[in-house]
Every structure is written in structure tokens, then in C-alpha cells.
Amino acid sequence: MERKLALSNDILMQVEKPARYIGGEVNSVMKDKITVDIRFCMCFPDIYEIGMSHLGIQILYGMFNSWEDVWCERVYSPWVDLDKIMRQRKIPLFALESQEPVKNMDFLGITIQYEMCYTNILQVLDLAQIPLYAKDRGEEAPIVIGGGPCSYNPEPIAEFFDLFYIGEGETQYRRLLDTYKEYKKCGKSRKDFLRAAAQIPGIYVPMFYEEEYNDDGSIKGRKKLYDKAPDTIVKELVKDVSDTYYPDKPVVPFIQVTQDRVVLEIQRGCIRGCRFCQAGQLYRPVRERDVEVLKKYVTELLNNTGYDEISLSSLSSSDYSALGELLDFMINDCNRRYINISLPSLRIDAFSLDVMAKVQDVKKSSLTFAPEAGSQRLRNVINKGLTEEVILDGAALAFKSGWTRVKLYFMLGLPTETDEDILGIGDLSNKIAAVFFDTVPKDKRINGKVQIVTSTSFFIPKPFTPFQWARMCTKDEFIEKAYKTRQGIISQLNRKSIKYNWHEADLSVLEGILARGDRKLAKVILTAYERGCLFDSWSECFHNDIWLSSFEDCGVDMELYMRERREDEIFPWDFLDCGVTKEFLLREWKKAMNETVSLNCRKQCQGCGANRFGCGVCFEDKEQG
């Protein structure tokens, strides 16, 4: 099929990285638009390099294109240089594969991975010449559907979407698209289709609901505007992840992207139950992929892409029960091909010398540990399940195996945090550096010294976590905590071996407000966008002053979303069921306040509610002791 590029050569010559916009990459799919019934454009609302690194889009893109009647294409947010040109010349946003306008598609599917992309969602709709509000779209406009982790509180952006798909996309998309085909064939209206879609499990249609408020601004309840709309939308979940679609020919970009490697998802979910972690709750229960299936994927993925690195994807890779067997297979295969193996999300207590020794022969890089809190007391509050002894023993094993660079991740602003907890970050960083000097003899120190990179982010209370009731710190409080952390590190004996990085406080505050927000925030987001906010997750593009003025001018109180919530308060997301019950989350919140630890799913069931799905770790035999 012959393609004509949407952008002329003179435009491509004016923009940074033209390869972002031309398509035609290895393994991208071209179809004859005349032979398909549905055209679906998949969007990641950030630049190409970040969007191309997202496994979820690769899975859905491959699955949709495996169906003869569907052609799935891709679109990403144009960077600011092309954004300006497209507005000046009135060029509609286009899909990479066909180079045709997104507004001509049947569906625009937007994956929402983080709150700071909300203005980019409006950019995509605006450049595509699609009305921003769902209520303003006519019969010819694409159906705009959202998915991903932020769809578990879709309310701040609900008015911009026709549908949200809650949960894992492999289960109900075929039914949704078949329903749409029927709607098109019978000449039914857009609203008829949305009514039918609302009957499909996992599908949320915002226009069929309305929030009601108390005088203090909190939510009083939700009113249904369509009788047959469900009261609760339960997340969709793949029960057998070994017997589901996985892309064996992922699209390979022409330019380097953020995750420039093959990604192999080994399991979904996490057994650990960290109380701050949203993903750990949303993706319960843990479901492992069969190791023989994974071995097959390794070979196919490397053969079909030409990458020289493969990464194992999981929330906690070291909890995958067949990790040793999989690594043995991969090391034999990857050593032969000179391919590097990347093992993110490994826990320090499970990072055995055996595993490290296996991987180190392929390629050394820095090790990442996430103690999250500087004291044992606070680690118990957040249910991290790591003791200082385990952390230091793990560091010693790493240093003996030849690593000299360690990244440590902590959070500031956690519930019940004290100055002692903050200063503990420097103390622990110093102790890990000391372990290096105690463990590695001088003649074996290849680079002479160890480098500890200690990073702190600011705690954000997210929906569907035990900390969803927690108060969020202000910008000034966050900055004060970062200052104390820095002073604590400077005072350490091994301070020259420790480098300290911290996140931006005002950006974290805004992320927290958007994460726990309701529909009142839609006008704030739109106002900020209209005033020039875009690529808010990029520090060079973030304009906090515009956001502050947008809240003020829209009459929306930021403090309303930062305060501690009442135990009986209705959350904007309470109509969604992510699998874990609110009763369980409240129980964990109270245990946190009592500094009580909960055992992981393999040791003892905590009664979270995810066993109702009838699969995964819930039906394994529990460990003894």
C-alpha cells in the first residue's frame, strides 16, 4: 500500500527527530483500509520515545492487528516544535501507519499512565480536531476510550472521554468492537452504541453518571442518568496469563527510545502489599506466566527484533517462582548472542549471590534497591517488609559480586514520618557505603570507590491504596524535608561516596491533587491547557504558576484534595471495583497507624478480596512458617 507522508519535507527538516512522525518501522502493520471494518488509533499522550517503550500498547496493537477486520495504528503527542507548526498550518493530527487524520478513525484509544499527561490528552484531541468534551462530539467523531492505571480514578478527565476500559485489555475488547460493528451496520446513533457499551463488563461511560456534592465540597453520592448503567464497574482481569496474546513481533523504532530493548512480561501483580503502591493493589492477584511459554517468547522476540538487550518485566521479578530456570535458559541463549539481560524490580532480600553471579558475566550496570524509608519503624508503617540487616547483607552480596554503583530510592512525606525517619536516609546510605569498604579489599576495588546515588520522591496518596485516606504534604513541607535529608547526608562520614537527588515538590503536589480529584478538576485542566500547559511531566515545560492561577480562577480549592479523608468518606473512584475491597484497604490503613506489618500473599492471605477472580497466587499452597 502506497503512503503519502502527512508532513512535507520542509516541515520534517524543521523539527527535532523527524523519525517520530513518519512511521514505517520494523514490524509495524499496514493493512488495506477498504478490507477492514474498524480503524482503531492507539495513543500514548507523550512523545514517541516514551510511548514506544510502553508494553501495554505493544500488546493491544499486536492483538488488534491479529484480527482481520481491525486495523490498529498509533499516534503520540507531537513535541512542542511540531505542535506549533501543526496549529499554524492547521494540519490535523495523523496516525503513523496510514498518515491519515486521527479524526477519520472509528476509535481513539488513549492509555493514561500518569496524571501529568492530562493536558497532553487535550492536545491530542485538539490537534486531531476532535471536540474536547464528549458531549460536543457528533456522529462522525471517533469514540474516545481511555485505559491504563489512571482510569482507576477517571473523574478529573471523565468529561473528555466517551468510554473508559477498566482493567486488562485482552478480555473485552473483541466484544466491544463487535458491538460497534453492529451499531455501524444498523445505522444506530453514537448514544445507542454508548448505551450498549455500558452493558459490557469493565466499560465505564461517564456521561451516564453525575456526581452530587456536600456543602464542604466532598462527594455526597452519584446519580445515574441511564437506568441500565451499572452501579459498580468491576475491573477486567486475565485469569491465565500464559494462554493470552503476547506480541512476538513488537514494533522496532528507527531511533533510540527510553526502553530500547525487548521486554518480556513474566507475571502480573505483586505479592508484597506495600501500602503506598497503587500497582500492587490494582493488579492483584499475582499471576505467573509458564516458564516454557516464556522461553519460547525469548527466542521469538530476539529473532524478530534484533535487539541486544532483554528486560524481564514485573512489579517484583524476584518473586517469580521459576526465575532461576528462566535465567539459566536466557543466559545460555543470550551469552551465545552477546545479549544483555536486564533484571529490574528485584528485591534486595531475594537478590541472591547465585542470581547476581549469573547475570554479571553478561553485563554490569548499577543495582537498584528501594528501601523507601530511612527507619525500620517507617518501613513497618508502609509494609515494606525489609529490615536494615537484610538491606546491608544484600548490599554486601552485590559488592562481593563486583558491583560498585548502587541506586537507592526513598520517599519523603509518608504518613507518620518524623525527623528521625528523614535523617535515617543518610544513615542508611552511609552504612551501605561502609559495607563496600568493609567487604571489598583495596586491591579488588576496580574503580577505587563505591558510588551511592540516593534519590527521594515525594509521597502521593493514590486511589485504591491503604494510604488513600492520608493527608498530602504541601510544597513547602516537601522542600523542608528534602533539605533535612540533604543535611543528613552531608553529615555522614562517607558523604563523598553519596550523591543525592530529589523530585520537584510543586509537580508532586499537582500530581497528588489530580490523582485524588473529582469532576470539578476538568475545568481546571482545560483552563491550564488553554493557557499553555503541555508536557507537564517534563520539568522544562512545567508551569506551576499557570496551574495555580487556573485553580484560583476556576474557584477550585487545592486543599480540598490534599487533606486527610474521613474513614466513611465517599471517594470519586468508589464506583469502581479494582478487586480489593475498601474494607481491606481501611484495615491496612489502621494497621499502618499501629506500625503493624502484614505478611505477603504467599505466606498468609490477608483477605483483600482478589480471590473472587479464582486464579493466581490466591490458589497456591501457602508457605509454612
Per-residue 3-state assignment (H helix, E strand, C coil) for 554-567: CCCCCHHHHCCCCC
Angle at 294 between CA 606 and CA 300, to 5 degrees: 150
Per-residue 3-state assignment (H helix, E strand, C coil) for 240-299: CHHHCCCCCCCCECCCCCCCCCEEEECEECCCCCCCCCHHHHHCCCCEECCHHHHHHHHH
The reported pLDDT for the residue numbered 624 is 45
Q: Which residues pair with 252 in a beta bridge?
A: 26
3-state secondary structure of 576: strand
For residue 410, give the nearest of 377, 453, 466 by alpha carbon: 453
The reported pLDDT for the residue numbered 625 is 39
68 by Cβ neighbours in 10 Å (0-12 / 13-18 / 19+) ranks as exposed
Distance between CA 545 and CA 527 in Å, rounded?
Answer: 13
Q: Does the domain at residues 366-514 carry the CATH identifier 3.90.550.10?
A: no
Distance between CA 61 and CA 72 in Å, rounded?
Answer: 6
The DSSP-derived string for 406-463 is EEEEEEES-TT--HHHHHHHHHHHHHHHHHHHHHS-GGG-TTSS-EEEEEEEE----T
- Cell, residue 513: 491533587
The DSSP-derived string for 585-598 is HHHHHHHHHTT---
Instruction: Give the chain's residues under pLDDT 50.
Output: 350, 362, 624-625
| R_g over Cα of the chain | 25
Distance between CA 270 and CA 279 in Å, rounded?
Answer: 8
Half-sphere exposure of 262 (CA within 13 A, CB side): 26
The reported pLDDT for the residue numbered 324 is 86
C-beta of residue 133 within 8 angstroms of C-beta of residue 159: yes
- Strand bridging mode 209-213 / 219-224: antiparallel
Long-range own/partner contacts, residues 196-199 (CB < 8 A, 24 or more apart): 197/163, 198/226, 198/228, 198/229, 198/230, 199/228, 199/230
Helices (H) and strands (E) in the chain, counts: 20, 19
Helix (H) or strand (E) holding 313: strand 309-313
pLDDT in tens, 249-276: 999 999 999 888 999 999 999 999 999 9
pLDDT in tens, 140-173: 999 999 999 999 999 999 999 999 999 999 999 9
Record the pTM: 0.95
Cα–Cα distances in angstroms (integers) from residue 282 to residues 128, 342, 344, 491, in the given order: 31, 25, 20, 40
Locate the domains of the chain by residue range.
Answer: 14-234, 366-514
Half-sphere exposure of 191 (CA within 13 A, CB side): 7
- Cell, residue 336: 551465545
Q: What is the CATH number of domain 14-234?
A: 3.40.50.280
The reported pLDDT for the residue numbered 405 is 85
- Cell, residue 345: 524490580
The reported pLDDT for the residue numbered 332 is 85
Distance between CA 106 and CA 38 in Å, rounded?
Answer: 6
First CA to last CA distance, the chain: 63
Distance between CA 485 and CA 519 in Å, rounded?
Answer: 36
Per-residue 3-state assignment (H helix, E strand, C coil) for 126-150: HHCCCCCCHHHCCCCCCEEEEECHH
Q: Which residues contact 523 (CB under 8 A, 6 or more apart)?
A: 554, 556
Q: Running DSSP on this structure, what letter comes out for residue 7?
A: S
If phi > 0 it is left, if psi is from -120 to 50 it is alpha, else beta; for residue 489 that is alpha
